Structure 1
Amino acid sequence: LTKEKPLRSLQDHVIEKPLGTGPFTLFEHKKGAYIHMQKNSYFFGKGQKIGNHLLGPYVDSLLFRIYGTSDVAILALKKGDIDYYWGDIQPGYIKDLKEQVNIDLYFNKKSALYYLGFNLRRAPFNDKVLRQAVATVIDKEFILTRILQNFGTPMHSVVPSGNHFWYNPKVRKYGQGLDHDQRIKLAHEMLKEAGYSWDTPPVTEGGNVVTPSDILLPSGEKMEKFVILTPPADYDPKRAFAGTMVQEWVRELGLPASARPMAFSSLLDTVKGKHEFDAFILGYGKLNLDPDYLRSFFYSKNDKPRGWNMSGYHNPEFDKIARAQMSLIDTGKRKELIWKMQEMILEDIPYLPLYNPHIIEATFNERFTGWVAKVDGIGNVWSMCVVKPAQ
């Protein structure tokens, strides 16, 4: 605390021997290779029945091995070198794993949000109508069937639909129920009414959808090329593919878009740290069930370097409601405000929710049993407490 920047010094301090109070504590860690944890003999829950589970742990240690690629990790699982693949298995592996008698697959919902974010601080996405038109042409059914291969759900609000109490089903749902040509025609009308134009518009006077020329801004100037940043395919193929498809869909309106994969750490720094972007596809893989994260993501004061308001959304009315819901004890009244916040976000679209994937996991079933399925998968503290050696 005597240093010039005590908080930064504390944050940067390397913890070599972390303490833990859970069922396991750290024994050894080799960066990029493995984490070895041993049973905590002082674990408070041992022998207690909590949540209908008689807690252990029933194994002496856990070894988390780190693999460079999914292919290598899946092969290790099939060979029995590991007992559990802790991560989201891509749908392409499922058919093969289903044929393995010693592999059990688990499909669980996630409390997650994967979305298209816009930079509201600069052109072209400082125009709400443009953001709404982009939202209209995105085919979420394609994302569900082709990208997620039906292992997930389309998202229409920034609160997952599985969060039944807080989810607002009445938010504006862009393009829902429309086919491809209907989405193009509706988006074209929205943009035309807002002053955008084309030398060759995407919809002819006869109502046919055609390949358009580059879109012209209300000022008459050509729209500058913009970039949709995504994680690379080897990090998350779903988000990378979604970015490519968004690029193609908006080009059908004459928008000069390009999807660009970027190393994940650089992507976060560009979007969250520097705010030097046009649009991006990211996700929150594990949202809290309490929706106060809406305030964090879209509160005006959080629009700062490394702040949570990455899109630069400013709405005094939203800020007022966001502050008010924090102090409400009456859940019914708070629900009304949370629903209103969702409606405002889906009208203004700093983020466009895209999808919520299921989490797909697998275990080697010959040595251990008792995995506990929950929202966000079987890799939870309950599993760590009750998994036992197979009889």
Structure 2
Amino acid sequence: WEPGAYAQVDKNPTYYATGETTTFYEGGGAIIDNPNSGFHFEAYGGPTGAVKLALTDGPYVDSILYPIYLNQDAAVLALQNGEIAFFLNPLGLQKGFRQRLEASPNVEIISNPPWGFRYLAFNMRREPMSYKAFRVAVATLIDREYLANTVFQGIIIPMYSVVPHPNPLWHNPDIVVYGQGMDHFQRVEEAVRVLKEAGFSWDAEPVVVDKDNPRNTRVAGKLPDGTIVDAPSGFKLPSGEYCPELELLAPSAGYDPLRATFALYIEQWCREIGLPVKANLTGFNVIVNKVWAPDGFNFDMYILGWSLGDPSFPDYLYYFWHSSQDVIDGFNTPGYRNPDFDKLAEDFLAADNLETARELVFRMQEMLAVDVPYVILFDTPITEAYRADMIEFPYTEVLGGIQFVWPLTTVKAVK
């Protein structure tokens, strides 16, 4: 791609669904009728309750142009000038741009809950990430609530499960969350306990000192003879070998200051107990090229994010963590291999009723929360802007934002 490049999608004059109606009901049912083919379909109980939403397929425009902008600043300017009706960005509208657009005539700004998450992934093919205790310890140290409430002042939403809570049908609210309800020093002590029980050790073991004096409470190091030193040191694997420095890849602040900040805090919390984690804030493409390297997964840990596709059927659970996807270019980047999970994921794809599928999804969430190939971190509400004098969406309340309005054949141009 280059400046000025664009993609174009033209109207299909023989589109099979033109005139097809889809009606959703308050009782959860839906009906699809196609007057051309005579197709009729009812789901989830059909017409129960009042009509909630009725859609009629077009298309209503001759073509859709997708110009490519190098950054969000250029796209916002084009929106203000009426050159475009809407722009696609999986992260939504940045706060500063929202303030600019609020003063622009004919620009509507809306916010929707996210359908995705930003996460920390471990390369379980390498030590010490291959040890569940190490992953649990790092997860225990991460205080999402502190970052959400104190650092980010409420602009992020802490998340815990691989199926985010804005999707209540599939979300399991009862998974284990390591460190939940603990203050910082309780998290430190719990992480150290988990690591010691798994055979990890230090030359100078982390200890919390001056607990009776909150202003002076800190993490120090304790030598084998009981001597207290300034800081922990000499973190060792269960084999007795010293742990090498571990790289935590994350996007730079210029691309995503939220993930960059999370990475720096995770580095700080890990190093506080002697874990040699170093954050490397770098380009998005640099991370992708290391995670999905041509010769295999070349990373220790990384922070990225996912948009999760169709919220009605979370089949990504199979593709992200089934062992068959632990291949070059596969989506199982941690290298998670668990036969029990594989069976649940396979049974989920084969399930022939909603109740069974939901039970399997709940069990998969529980298993992944315990094994922590990912630590789910947070997401943000999706704020978007569009030109109300140029485009009309059939609905604007949608999980993940109006960029996920579907089908596009129901979107209309304002005459």
Instruction: Say whether the fold is shared (TM-score over 0.5).
Output: yes
Which secondary structure does the structure 1 equivalent of 2:402 belong to? coil
Over the aligned positions, Cα root-mean-square deviation in angstroms equals 2.8
CA distance in 2, matches of 1:300, 1:258: 29
Q: Tell me what 1:281 maps to.
A: 303
Alignment of 1:378 onto 2:402? yes
Contact 1:110 1:357 in 2 (8 A): yes
Distance 2:289 2:363 in 1: 31
The answer for the alignment partner of 1:40 in structure 2 is 12
Q: Given the alignment of the two structures, is residue 292 of structure 1 paired with residue 312 of structure 2, yes or no?
A: no
The alignment's TM-score, normalised by the length of structure 2, stands at 0.78
Distance in 2 separating the partners of 1:149 and 1:205: 30
> Cα gap change, 1:387/1:146 in structure 2, threshold over 3 Å: closer, same or farther?
farther
The answer to whether the 8 Å contact 1:111/1:288 transfers is no
Q: What corresponds to 1:230 in structure 2?
A: 250
Q: Larger deviation: 139-148 or 270-279? A: 139-148
* Rounded Cα–Cα distance in structure 1 between residues aligned with 2:10 and 2:336: 46
Q: Distance in 2 between matches of 1:63 and 1:33?
A: 10
* Equivalence for 2:47: none
2:98 aligns with 94
Q: Distance in 2 between matches of 1:110 and 1:186?
A: 31
- Partner in structure 2 of residue 113 of structure 1: 117
Query: What residue is the counterpart of 1:23 in the other structure?
Result: none
Whether 2:261 is the aligned partner of 1:241: answer yes
**Bigger shift: 332-341 or 203-212?**
203-212
Write the deviation string for residues 316-344 of structure 1: whole angstroms up to 9, x where unpaired.
Answer: 22223333333332433333332222211
Q: C-alpha distance in 2, partners of 1:215/1:97?
A: 53
Return 173-182 or 52-61, whichever deviates more.
52-61
Pair 229,30 (structure 1): closer, same or farther in 2 beyond 3 Å: closer
Q: Deviations over 1:81-108 (max 9, x none)?
A: 3221221212333333334343211211
Equivalent residue letter for 1:388: A
Q: How much has 1:173 moved relative to structure 2?
A: 0.9
Shift of 1:387: 2.5
Identity %: 37
Conservation of the 8 A alpha-carbon contact between 1:297 and 1:309: yes
1:208-264 deviation digits (Å, cap 9, x = unpaired): 322533352144543211101123444444333322232222222221111223443
Please state if 1:210 is matched with 2:212.
no
Q: Relative to 1, partners in 2 of residues 1:118 and 1:370: Cα closer, same or farther, differing over 3 Å?
A: closer
The answer as to 2:94 corresponding to 1:75 is: no
How has the CA–CA distance of structure 1 residues 205 and 267 changed in structure 2, closer, same or farther, with 3 Å as cutoff?
Answer: closer
AA of the residue aligned to 1:43: Y
Aligned residues: 362
Could you tell me which amino acid in structure 1 is paired with residue 233 of structure 2? Answer: D
1:62 matched residue in structure 2: 64
User: Do 2:106 and 2:387's aligned partners in 1 also have CA atoms closer than 8 Å?
Assistant: yes
Give the drift of 1:153: 2.6
2:139 & 2:96 partners in 1: Cα distance?
28
- Which whole-Å CA distance do the structure 2 matches of 1:98 and 1:151 have between them? 18
Q: Distance in 2 between matches of 1:81 and 1:325?
A: 45
Are the counterparts in 2 of residues 214 and 223 from structure 1 also a CA contact under 8 Å? no
The unaligned stretches of length 5 or more in structure 2 are 24-53, 212-216, 221-230
Query: Structure 1 pair 155/287, CA: closer, same or farther in 2 (3 Å)?
Result: farther
TM-superposed deviation, 1:37 = 3.3
Q: 1:351 to 1:135 in 2, by over 3 A?
A: same
Contact residue 124 and residue 335 of structure 2 kept, 8 A: yes
Question: Residue deviations 1:35-76, cap 9 Å, x none?
Answer: 233333333344443341244343333222211111222222
Does structure 2 retain, via aligned residues, the 8 Å contact 1:171–1:342? yes
* Counterpart code for 2:411: V
AA paired with 2:277? A
Kept in 1: contact 2:112–2:401 (CA 8 A): yes
CA offsets 1:155-185 (integer angstroms, 9 cap, x no match): 2111121222222211111222223233223
Match of 1:144 among 148, 154, 157: 148
The AA in structure 2 aligned to 1:216 is: F
Cα distance in 1 for partners of 2:301, 2:325 equals: 18
Whole-angstrom CA distance in 2 between matches of 1:304 and 1:278: 17
| Structure number with higher helix proportion | 1
Secondary structure of 1:178's aligned partner:
coil
Structure 2 residue 169 is the aligned partner of structure 1 residue 165: yes
Normalized against structure 1, the TM-score is what?
A: 0.82
